[in-house]
Structure 1
Amino acid sequence: MFKRIFWIGVGVAIGVVAVTKAQAYVRANTPDKARQFLLGPDQDNVPLRTLAGLVDEFNATRRAREAELNRQYIERAD
């Protein structure tokens, strides 16, 4: 189990490095208009916005599923 955790951690670290390098390459080698199209007008906070969007989507999905399960259990109890 610890081997799996280790390799998952290694994979996440490699993914973070690859995304950081790709983003740096895009910033260095594309014109400003293209960067704004790809990364948006706030180019410094792309990872933070992405993470916030993922957390918001996860919470919305979790709440919807929780409401669905609650409805199903209430219907069974009646």
Structure 2
Amino acid sequence: MMFKRLFWIGVGVTVGALAVIKAQAYVKANTPDAARAFVFGPDQDHVGMRTLEGLVNEFNATRRAREAELNQHYIDRAAR
């Protein structure tokens, strides 16, 4: 049963990735340069990498903030 779920999750991820790749290729091929530069920014070849980098940076910032919050909580608790 678990193998079946993992298989279908893998199929869904693969189909989703292919759909995104095809959609990006379509947009690149059928939009004017000015519109693409406005939507994707000046570095149009690395949009995916910039998005992933932004997600990782946001995750790390949120993680650091939560760690600081927990550390302060336990420091306050130990000071009592």
Fold match by TM threshold 0.5 = yes
Q: CA offsets, 1:10-57, max 9 Å, x none?
A: 222222111111100100111111111111110001111111111000
1:61 equivalent to 2:62? Answer: yes
Moved more, 1-10 or 32-41: 1-10
- Report the Cα distance in structure 1 between the residues aligned to 2:36 and 2:13, rounded to whole angstroms: 25
Specify the alignment match of 1:50 in structure 2.
Answer: 51
Specify the alignment match of 1:75 in structure 2.
Answer: 76
- Considering only CA atoms, is the larger Rg found in Structure 1 or Structure 2? 2
Correspondence list, 1:14-53, <5 A: 14-53=15-54
Amino-acid identity (%): 74
- Report the Cα distance in structure 2 between the residues aligned to 1:36 and 1:29, rounded to whole angstroms: 13
User: What is the CA-CA distance between 1:3 and the residue it aligns to?
Assistant: 3.4
- Report the Cα distance in structure 2 between the residues aligned to 1:2 and 1:76, rounded to whole angstroms: 45
RMSD over equivalenced CA pairs, Å: 1.3
User: What is the CA-CA distance between 1:2 and the residue it aligns to?
Assistant: 3.6
Q: Which runs of 5+ in 2 are unaligned?
A: none
Question: How many matched pairs?
Answer: 78
Matched residue SS, 2:42: coil
Counterpart code for 2:71:
N
For normalisation by structure 2, the TM-score amounts to 0.87
Matched residue SS, 1:41: coil
